[in-house]
Amino acid sequence: MNTLSPARVRLALLALALGGFGIGSTEFVAMGLLPNLAADLLPQVWATSQEDAIAQAGWLISAYALGVVVGAPTIAALAARFPRKQLLLWLLAAFTIATVLSAVLPSFGLVLVARFIAGLPHGAYFGIATLVAASLMGEGKRGRGVALVLSGLTIANVIGVPLITLLGQSAGWRIAYLAVAAIFAITFVAVALAVPFQAGDKEATLKRELAAFSRPQVWLALLTGAIGFGGFFAVYSYVAPVVTNVTGRDETFVPIALVVIGLGMTIGNLAGGRASDHHVMGTIFVCFGLFVLSLTAFALTAHTTVGLLVSLFFVGGAASALSPAVQSRLMDVAGDSQTLAAAANHAALNIGNSLGAYLGGITIAAGLGYLSPSVVGLALCIPGIGLALWSVLLQRRRPLRASGL
C-alpha cells in the first residue's frame, strides 16, 4: 500500500465509505417510513390499531438486524482467506439483489425475509472494509480509518435517509428501496475501480478465526456494544411516531429529525474514532455517560420541537462515538482473529438494533406511549456500563498479551 498516491488512497476510502452510505440507507430508511410500511403491508392491523401495526412493522428493522448477526461472523470466518477486494464486490452484489427484493416482494412476510437476507452481508462488509481502510491509513491511525468507513453510514443519516424518506413518503416506500439498490450498484462500480487489490489472510482458518470467541475480553466487548447500543435503536426505531404523535409536527418534519440525528452520528463517529486512537476504554465510558444524559433529555423534552432536536442530536452523537471505540477494542483483544473481530462488532451492534427495536415496540404496544422506548434505552445502558467496567477489572488482573486475551 505504500506505493499508492495520496489521491488514490482518498478515492479508495471514499469508495469504501460509499458502501457504508448504502448500508446506512438500507438499514435506517425503515425508521422514517415505518408508518408507511405498516399501513401498506399490514392494512388490516392498521385499520384496527395504528400502534399495533407500527410495533409489528418494527419487526422489519429487527429482521435486518438479525441478518447482520447471522451473516457477520459466518461470512467473516469462512472468507478471511479470500482476497478482500473481490469479497467486497460479492457482498455489494448481494446487497443490491436483496434490496431490490425488499422493494418488489408483495407481502409483509416476504419482505421480512428479504430484509433478513439484506442484512447478511452487512457486518462482513464493514469488517473487511475497515481492515482495508486501516491498512491504507497506516500506523497509529486505525481508529480514524475505522471512522472513515463508518462515516458513510453516519452521513447516510444526514443526507441519504432523509432524502429517501421524502422520496418514500411521496412516491411510495418501494421506490425508496429501489433508490437504495441503485446506491449499492454505484458502490460496486466505485469499489471495482478505486480500491486496490489486497490479499486475504492466507494463514486464516475457520478454527483460528473462531478462536476469538474463546477469549472473555472479546465477549465483554461484544456484549458492551450490543446491550449499550440497544438504547439508541430503541429510540431511533420510533422517531417517526414520536415526531407526529408526541411533538405534534406533521409527517414532513420527520426527515428534519432524521437529519439532526445524522449530524449527531457523523460528528460523534469522527470524534469517537479520533478519541479511541488515544484511549479506547476511556472513550467508551465517556460515550455511555453522554448517552444516559441524552436519553434522559429526550424523555423529558421531546414534546417540544427544540427539545426533540437537541436531544436527538446528542443521542445520535453519543451512540455513534461508541461504535469505533468498541471496534478498536475488539481489534485489541481478538489476537489473530482480526477479520472475525472486525465483523463481529457489527453483529453485536445489530443485536442491539434488534433488541432495542423489539423492546421499544413492546412498550408501545403495551400502551406506555411513544416515549417509553427511551426508558428501555436507559435500562440497557446500565448493563452496558457494567460490562465495560468488568472488562477493565479483568484486564488489570490479566493484562492483554500481544496475542490478545
- Give the amino acid at 78: L
Rounded-to-integer distance, Cα 158 and Cα 13, Å:
19
Q: What residue ranges define each of the domains in the chain, with the CATH number in brackets?
A: 6-397 (1.20.1250.20)
Q: Hey, what's the cell of 311?
A: 436531544
Q: What is the reported pTM?
A: 0.72
Burial 30-59 (b: 16+ CB within 10 A, else e): bbbbbbbbbbbbbeebbeeebbbbbbbbbb
Q: Hey, what's the cell of 251?
A: 409527517
Burial (CB count within 10 angstroms: exposed 0-12, middle 13-18, buried 19+), residue 260? buried
The predicted structure's pLDDT at residue 110 = 94
Rounded-to-integer distance, Cα 377 and Cα 356, Å:
7
Closest among 53, 20, 76, 119 to 350, alpha carbons compared: 119
C-alpha distance from residue 191 to each of 18, 92, 177 (Å): 9, 9, 21
Contact 281, 329 (CB under 8 A): yes
Closest among 164, 21, 189 to 102, alpha carbons compared: 164
Taken in order 143, 154, 379, 354, is the CA torsion positive or negative?
A: negative
Rounded-to-integer distance, Cα 48 and Cα 149, Å:
43
Rounded-to-integer distance, Cα 231 and Cα 311, Å:
14
- Backbone angle region of 99, left / alpha / beta, with phi > 0 → left and psi within -120 to 50 → alpha: alpha
Contact 135, 16 (CB under 8 A): no
What DSSP string runs through 139-186? TT-HHHHHHHHHHHHHHIIIIIHHHHHHHHHHH-HHHHHHHHHHHHHH
Q: Hey, what's the cell of 334?
A: 481478538
Contact 137, 274 (CB under 8 A): no
The predicted structure's pLDDT at residue 123 = 81
Q: What is the pLDDT along the chain (405 residues), one digit of tens a residue?
A: 457 777 787 888 889 989 989 998 888 788 778 888 888 888 888 888 887 888 788 888 888 888 888 887 788 777 777 888 888 999 999 999 999 999 999 899 999 999 999 999 988 888 888 878 877 776 666 667 677 777 787 788 778 888 898 899 889 899 999 999 999 999 999 999 988 887 766 666 667 767 777 788 888 888 888 887 788 888 888 888 899 999 999 888 888 888 898 889 888 888 887 788 778 888 888 888 898 999 999 999 999 999 999 999 999 898 888 887 887 787 777 776 767 776 777 777 777 777 887 888 888 888 888 899 888 888 888 888 888 888 888 887 766 554 444
C-alpha distance from residue 153 to each of 18, 93, 296 (Å): 8, 18, 25
The predicted structure's pLDDT at residue 203 = 66
C-alpha distance from residue 343 to each of 120, 173, 391 (Å): 11, 29, 20
Contact 178, 304 (CB under 8 A): no
User: Any long-range contacts for 392-400 (C-beta under 8 Å, 24+ apart)?
Assistant: 392/281, 394/216, 394/217, 394/220, 395/217, 400/217, 400/332, 400/333
CB neighbours (10 Å) of residue 211? 17
The predicted structure's pLDDT at residue 338 = 67
- Host H or E run for residue 387: helix 372-397
